[in-house]
């Protein structure tokens, strides 16, 4: 296999580009917290001429995505300087977006996509209690029409688009090659058969997010939660590791663990679709955004994420041509895979990928939404613990919030 080309973005100094103040990573926490110990994958080893090195890499990935569903990815082709430029642009967005653009580009989750600007007042178009989370999300139509992008970002769209292109078509494609090899399938199996294509993000999306510190009353109302526990609905999520520790993952021992900071690394997690395609051999791990350790409570958390989505019209089932699945069968006890298995065993069709995405987005709630989050609506109390209850076509699933 030819070595992968590194990221080569358009220049930051082209005529007409305003000065962008450099993003300075905030200090890491000094607190002792429950931190997850995740495997770190060196993606450049996929280009090795030594088959033993590549085999070892595939084995390492196999264990990480089965046991944790989360891993760090390093040496994937983007330098720390290039990455910090993208963070600087994201920071520039939140310092410069106009009130007019916030209104004009306001998101509408009822449509089944997050496209556009999310105000810091919950996950509905109409403002609810303040949650301090702003986002801008690029979907296919937003890449195609500059008028769907905040005006202050227009001079930088060449850099943002190339970055999203590189993440999808180089980093994610190589990652899917590794995952295809774990399933003992041809290198491009997942890329050709499951990953959606077209535009820099296919049917997925790219996000700039800013989590501002929240007021004490908000923190109390949400019990420290910034985003509920959930699994991602797509194939893979590529999230850049940041110094502010807020992301937590649900361990096999049923405890939440913070994901530690690894400068320049990507935090990768598996979405529902890949869990199903892999017959449960890959795990879509629950995760949430929680308040950071006490010494970071007053810091802003800037976040860049790429959500890769599958082809919307497909109804996912395990890749039965996988020798791994043929030999070892499916692992049925896990989250969404089990949920879909229940449907098929009742003779019902599983939702298409697009339907599944739309359900997740349009029913999303935020922790400060007191009306939607009251126990008895989409939450239930089990053994004194509040659990999230989700229902699809008559199948009830209960998961921790
Ligand atoms: Fe997520």
Distance of CA 232 from the midpoint of ligand 1 (Å): 5
- The string of DSSP codes covering 388-401 is EEEEETTEEEEEE-
Distance of CA 18 from the midpoint of ligand 1 (Å): 33
Q: In terms of Cα–Cα distance, which of 191, 184, 190, 256 is closest to 226?
A: 256
Distance of CA 348 from the midpoint of ligand 1 (Å): 27
Distance of CA 178 from the midpoint of ligand 1 (Å): 22
Domains of the chain in sequence order: 40-313 (2.60.120.330)
The reported pTM is 0.91
Distance of CA 361 from the midpoint of ligand 1 (Å): 11
- DSSP 3-state of 124: coil
Distance of CA 99 from the midpoint of ligand 1 (Å): 28
Distance of CA 229 from the midpoint of ligand 1 (Å): 8
Contacts of 140 (CB under 8 A, 6+ apart): 198, 199, 201, 202, 203
Distance of CA 396 from the midpoint of ligand 1 (Å): 21
Distance of CA 211 from the midpoint of ligand 1 (Å): 14
Q: By the 8 A CB rule, do 105 and 117 touch?
A: yes
Distance of CA 360 from the midpoint of ligand 1 (Å): 11
- The 8 Å CB, 24+ separation contacts for 115-122 are 115/139, 115/141, 115/142, 115/148, 115/205, 116/142, 116/148, 117/150, 120/212, 122/366, 122/368, 122/369
Residues with CB under 5 A from ligand 1 (ion): 232
Measure Cα distances from 242 to 25, 83, 341 in Å. 8, 11, 36
Distance of CA 198 from the midpoint of ligand 1 (Å): 23
What integer pLDDT is reported at residue 54 of this predicted model?
98
Please give the biggest Cα pair distance in the chain.
62
What integer pLDDT is reported at residue 347 of this predicted model?
80
Cα four-point dihedral sign 283, 58, 311, 166: positive
What integer pLDDT is reported at residue 376 of this predicted model?
41
What integer pLDDT is reported at residue 351 of this predicted model?
81
pLDDT tens series, the chain, 401 aa? 556 899 999 999 999 999 999 999 999 999 999 999 999 999 999 999 999 999 999 999 999 999 999 999 999 999 999 999 999 999 999 999 999 999 999 999 989 899 999 999 998 999 988 999 999 999 999 999 999 999 999 999 999 999 999 999 999 999 999 999 999 999 999 999 999 999 999 999 999 999 999 888 888 888 888 988 888 989 999 999 999 999 999 998 989 999 999 999 999 999 989 998 999 999 999 899 999 999 999 999 999 999 999 999 998 889 999 999 999 988 866 567 777 777 778 887 788 888 888 877 877 777 766 554 444 445 555 555 555 555 544 444 555 55
Distance of CA 49 from the midpoint of ligand 1 (Å): 35
Q: By the 8 A CB rule, do 387 and 400 touch?
A: yes
d(CA 148, CA 175): 30
Q: In terms of Cα–Cα distance, which of 217, 179, 206 is closest to 324?
A: 179
Distance of CA 258 from the midpoint of ligand 1 (Å): 14
Distance of CA 301 from the midpoint of ligand 1 (Å): 15
Distance of CA 16 from the midpoint of ligand 1 (Å): 36
């Amino acid at each position: 296999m030819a070595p992968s080309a590194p990221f080569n973005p358009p220049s930051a100094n082209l005529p007409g580009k305003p000065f962008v103040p450099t993003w300075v990573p905030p200090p890491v926490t000094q607190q002792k917290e429950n931190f997850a110990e995740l495997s770190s994958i060196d993606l450049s080893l996929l280009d090795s001429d030594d088959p033993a090195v590549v085999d070892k890499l595939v084995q390492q990935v196999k264990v990480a995505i089965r046991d944790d569903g989360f891993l760090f990815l390093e040496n994937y082709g983007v330098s720390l300087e290039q990455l910090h430029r993208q963070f600087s642009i994201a920071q520039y967005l939140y310092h410069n977006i106009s009130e007019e653009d916030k209104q004009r580009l306001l998101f509408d989750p009822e449509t089944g996509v997050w496209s556009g600007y999310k105000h810091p007042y919950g996950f509905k178009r109409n403002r609810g209690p303040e949650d301090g989370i702003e986002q801008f999300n690029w979907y296919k139509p937003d890449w195609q029409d500059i008028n769907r992008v905040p005006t202050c970002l227009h001079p930088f769209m060449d850099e943002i688009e190339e970055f999203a292109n590189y993440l999808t078509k180089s980093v994610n494609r190589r990652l899917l090659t590794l995952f295809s090899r774990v399933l003992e399938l041809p290198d491009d199996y997942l890329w050709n058969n499951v990953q959606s294509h077209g535009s820099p993000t296919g049917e997925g999306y790219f996000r700039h997010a800013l989590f501002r510190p929240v007021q004490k009353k908000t923190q109390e109302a949400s019990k420290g939660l910034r985003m509920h526990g959930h699994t991602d609905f797509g194939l893979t999520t590529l999230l850049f590791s940041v110094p502010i520790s807020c992301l937590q993952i649900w361990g096999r021992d049923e405890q939440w663990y913070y994901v530690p900071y690894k400068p320049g690394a990507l935090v990768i997690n598996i979405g529902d679709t890949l869990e199903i395609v892999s017959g449960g051999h890959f795990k879509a791990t629950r995760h949430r955004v929680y308040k950071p350790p006490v010494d970071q409570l007053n810091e802003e958390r800037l976040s860049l994420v790429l959500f890769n989505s599958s082809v919307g019209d497909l109804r996912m089932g395990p890749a039965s041509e996988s020798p791994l699945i043929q030999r070892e069968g499916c692992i049925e006890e896990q989250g969404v895979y089990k949920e879909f298995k229940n449907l098929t065993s009742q003779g019902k069709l599983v939702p298409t990928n697009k339907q599944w995405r739309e359900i997740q987005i349009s029913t999303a709630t935020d922790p400060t939404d007191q009306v939607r989050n009251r126990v008895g609506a989409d939450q239930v109390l089990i053994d004194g613990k509040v659990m999230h209850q989700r229902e699809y076509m008559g199948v009830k699933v209960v998961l921790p919030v």
